[in-house]
Amino acid sequence: MKLNILFFIGFLVVQTAQAQESEPGISTSRSSRQKINTQSFYAPETVNVPQITFQMGDGQSSTVQTDEIVVKACIKTSKPLTRLNLFVNDALQQASRELKVQSDGAQKECDQALSQTVQLREGDNRLKLVAQNEGGITSESFLIRYDKPAAIVAEKRLALVIGNADYPSSNRLTNPANDANDMAEALKNVGFEVMIHTNMDVRSMRRAIDEFGNKLKDYQVGLFYYAGHGVQSRGRNFLVPIDAKPESENEIEYDCFLADRILTKMEDARTRTNIVVLDACRDNPFERSWSRGGSENTGLTTMDAPVGSVIAYATSPGRTAADGNGRNGLYTAALLKALQVPDQPLTQLFQRVRAEVLKQSNNKQLPWESTSLTGDFYFRRK
């Protein structure tokens, strides 16, 4: 009897459960488990192929003037690279293990950074970078042109530097020997071969200038620098040796050196660029005592500069140049300073000197140039 009752109760439970499953809106834990989609747990991860960006030029092409460059590229990849090859003009440049690839912490969007030195041929060169990960393979190309620079012909430069200071008695000057020595060193530092002399008599000056003129024929740039006494006589400029003792104005041309002869020597040498720098008082000693920085009513008229030449005076016509209170004369000190500045054309250099001298002399000394340059000249390039 008890067994029949238990069987009947079990039958009722089964019938009730089946009725609930058939009714809409009613679910059981069993039916829910049956409806779970387990496929999403086993779907394969999508891996994108690497992305390559060249970090040179505009990202696609560039022009260089050297046959060796460093190839730089950014590689974005979510998975480790399984292949990385660099081709230059379709030739494999480096195997994967030899390429310099590293994580780039400086650029968050760049997972790997390539930096590799390669050789180029003259003309167009095609670079190709191939990268592969488990998502696939990709490649990017870069066109780089190597234009061989024109051959640079060495510009030979020759300078004659003279500083006269040991004049008799009150005519003695303080700075010219220092000016000449410092100028010689400065010119050597910018590529000049320098002939330097100090405290020269008239015969030695003539020999030095003749030697300079003969030697200059094998050079492209000539420079003459003079610091010391200078005089004007009848519209002509004369450089004064330390032994000059003209007793009359008519004897100046015999005891002193005519500055125009320097220009004649340069013209005969056919140098491309000629520079004459005169840091002299340019006064007539018969009208005043021999001392740079004296009367303001004396001085020379300018000389005509031959084609391709510039003549620089420490002061303007009719004025005198100060000898200076330091190691160098006022004008030469400014010139030495300007020579240290790279990449300035010659005309700009003298403008810089003029501004400095005006400033230091409270506008009393105005440097002057006479020029017929036909092109730019640079003392110093970077």
Question: Per residue in 313-349, pLDDT tens?
Answer: 998 776 667 666 788 999 999 999 999 999 999 999 9
Q: Which amino acid is at 356?
A: E
How confident is residue 226, by pLDDT bands cut at 50, 70 and 90?
Answer: very high
Interval 62-88 mean pLDDT = 91
Q: Is the pLDDT of residue 181 over 70?
A: yes
Q: Is the pLDDT of residue 292 over 50?
A: no
Interval 102-110 mean pLDDT = 57
Contacts of residue 268, defined as CB under 8 A and 6 or more positions apart, other chains included, come to 213, 217
The pLDDT value given to residue 14: 54
Rounded to whole angstroms, the Cα distance separating 127 from 140 reads 8
The answer to pTM > 0.75 is no
Pick from 19-33, 232-246, 291-305 the range whose average pLDDT is largest.
232-246
Q: Is the pLDDT of residue 291 over 60?
A: no
The values of phi and psi at residue 355, to 5°, are -65, -40
Q: Is the pLDDT of residue 183 over 50?
A: yes
Contacts of residue 107, defined as CB under 8 A and 6 or more positions apart, other chains included, come to 74, 113
Between the alpha carbon of residue 298 and those of residues 246, 257, 295, the distances in Å are 18, 19, 6
Interval 113-139 mean pLDDT = 92
| Tokens (6 digits) for 66 | 């050297």
In a 13 Å sphere around the CA of 380, the CA atoms on its Cβ side amount to: 14
The pLDDT value given to residue 308: 92
Interval 234-255 mean pLDDT = 86
The pLDDT value given to residue 94: 61
Rounded to whole angstroms, the Cα distance separating 270 from 309 reads 11
Rounded to whole angstroms, the Cα distance separating 130 from 268 reads 64
How confident is residue 9, by pLDDT bands cut at 50, 70 and 90?
Answer: low
As a whole-number percent, the residues of the chain with pLDDT over 90 amount to 52
| Tokens (6 digits) for 290 | 């021999």
Q: Is the pLDDT of residue 241 over 80?
A: yes
Rounded to whole angstroms, the Cα distance separating 55 from 113 reads 10
Please tell me which residue, 171 or 241, carries the higher pLDDT value: 241
Nearest to 225 by CA among 270, 178, 279: 279
Between the alpha carbon of residue 8 and those of residues 3, 17, 274, 358, 359, the distances in Å are 9, 15, 130, 127, 124
Handedness of CA 263, 207, 239, 189 (dihedral sign): positive
Asked if residues 195 and 159 have their Cβ atoms less than 8 Å apart, the reply is yes
How confident is residue 139, by pLDDT bands cut at 50, 70 and 90?
Answer: very high
**Chain centroid, CA 287 distance in Å:** 50
